[in-house]
Amino acid sequence: MERTILKEKQRNGIEIAKCKGVYVGRPKKYHKKHAGLKHAIELYKLNKYTIKEITGMTSASRSALYRALKEQEEKEPVL
């Protein structure tokens, strides 16, 4: 019974913090200004290197690279 009351208070506090903009969660590792990820995208566009080579050179993860490429494709559709 006490546990449910505590959890309810916690949920209410999180909702209030989210409304204030204080509780935003974990920051992203690869943000828009991340130099390694930008460089990885540039290398990918050159069509000279494989994904494995690019991730080795830039130390950006493969999934982050694919995610960034997908986001970029959605913003700028290929004609």
Q: Which residue has the higher pLDDT, 62 or 35?
A: 62
**pLDDT digit string (tens) for 3-22?**
999 999 999 999 999 999 88
Q: What is the pTM assigned to this prediction?
A: 0.61
What is the amino acid identity at position 71? Answer: E
Count of H-run helices and E-run strands, the chain: 4, 0
Distances (CA, A) of 63 to 9, 21, 70, 74: 37, 28, 10, 17
Domain boundaries of the chain, sorted by first residue: 2-75
- The residues, ordered by sequence, that sit 6+ positions from 24 with a Cβ below 8 Å of its Cβ are 18
Other C-beta atoms lying within 10 Å of the C-beta of residue 22? 9
